[in-house]
Amino acid sequence: MSGLRISDLRLTIGRSEVLRGIDLEAPGGAITGLAGESGSGKTMTGLAVIGLQPAGSKVSGTIAFDDERDGVPNLLGLSPRAMNRLRGRRIAMVFQDPTASLQPMLSIGTQLTDHLRHHLHLDRRAAMQRAVELLERVRVPDPQAAVRRYPHQFSGGQLQRIAIAIAIACEPAVLIADEPTTALDVTVQAGILRLLRELTDDLGLAVLLVTHDLGVMSAVADTVAVMRTGEVVEHGTRYQVIREPQTDYAKELIAALPSTPPPGAGVEQDEVQP
């Protein structure tokens, strides 16, 4: 089974210890939630996995990438070139702002096919066919027409679906999703979370879902790790962490939760057409 096993991950930037020995597993076919207050190190953990930590930071520890095809005992030991080969192909990422992974001046079809041709060496026709299939997979309406449109012609929720389509285009084993629904409307959020759940189950993806929002966690994560000042202070099934938090810190985070609609509620109502 594919997935990540992180042990004693440490990251320092200048004199500040941003990650102070993270232990975390993100197995395939499951959503592993990474929660915690702002500045606790969630994003840095995700960036360290794909080798995009800020320039000048020092990283140590082990990030084992278990995978039958491209597994490596420690991603941190890879050359930049070897990491480049894995990034975007076997280990993919989506961000809070979907436009971060999209070019405003290029059609969606061009962006998807460029990605597919670059990583999978497909010809133009095969790449376009796969692009349409991918848009169907993430439920962008009318994929045949969508490939000819530009990013500004889509709603935020649809753009996030497109960013997810690009992320899964090369059939990654690991997907890091950093606050993928934070910028979206609540009703649209539920649809994106449901899509992540489906892709996790159908493709056996190991999803590391980074969010400060325990409400999002309680909707979809299988296990939840709670971070504080660069450490994982609590880690368990979503039920354990949300219902029976052990630390005062987790209790406070949960007490601060707004009431969240159940997953699937009000899904996609405003996601019909751009």
Ligand X SMILES: Nc1ncnc2c1ncn2[C@@H]1O[C@H](COP(=O)(O)OP(=O)(O)OP(=O)(O)O)[C@@H](O)[C@H]1O
Which residues in this chain contact ligand X in the complex, by CB under 6 A? 13, 16, 18, 36, 38-44, 54, 212
- Find the shortest distance in angstroms from Cβ 14 to ligand X: 7
Measured in degrees and rounded to the nearest 5, phi and psi for residue 206 equal -95, 110
192 interface partner picked from Mg ion, ligand X, none, CB below 5 to 8 A per type = none
Give kind and range of the element (H or E) at residue 209.
strand 206-210
- For the residues of 212-250, what is the DSSP string, one character each? S-HHHHHHH-SEEEEEETTEEEEEEEHHHHHHS--SHHH
Closer CB to ligand X, 40 or 113, in the complex: 40
- Find the shortest distance in angstroms from Cβ 42 to Mg ion: 5
Closer CB to ligand X, 13 or 82, in the complex: 13
- Find the shortest distance in angstroms from Cβ 16 to ligand X: 6
Closer CB to Mg ion, 63 or 210, in the complex: 210
- Find the shortest distance in angstroms from Cβ 38 to ligand X: 3
| Closest among 88, 52, 53 to 70, alpha carbons compared | 88
Measured in degrees and rounded to the nearest 5, phi and psi for residue 214 equal -70, -20
259 interface partner picked from ligand X, Mg ion, none, CB below 5 to 8 A per type = none
Q: Is 49 exposed, middle or buried (0-12, 13-18, 19+ CB in 10 A)?
A: buried
The binding site for Mg ion (CB under 5 A) comprises 43
Closer CB to ligand X, 3 or 41, in the complex: 41
CA triplet 209, 3, 82: central angle to 5 degrees?
100
39 interface partner picked from ligand X, Mg ion, none, CB below 5 to 8 A per type = ligand X
- Find the shortest distance in angstroms from Cβ 99 to ligand X: 18
44 interface partner picked from Mg ion, ligand X, none, CB below 5 to 8 A per type = ligand X
Instruction: Using DSSP, state whether 254 is helix, strand or coil.
Output: helix
13 interface partner picked from ligand X, Mg ion, none, CB below 5 to 8 A per type = ligand X
- Find the shortest distance in angstroms from Cβ 20 to Mg ion: 17
Give kind and range of the element (H or E) at residue 206.
strand 206-210
Closer CB to Mg ion, 19 or 108, in the complex: 19
Q: In this structure, are strands 30-36 and 206-210 parallel, antiparallel, or unpaired?
A: parallel
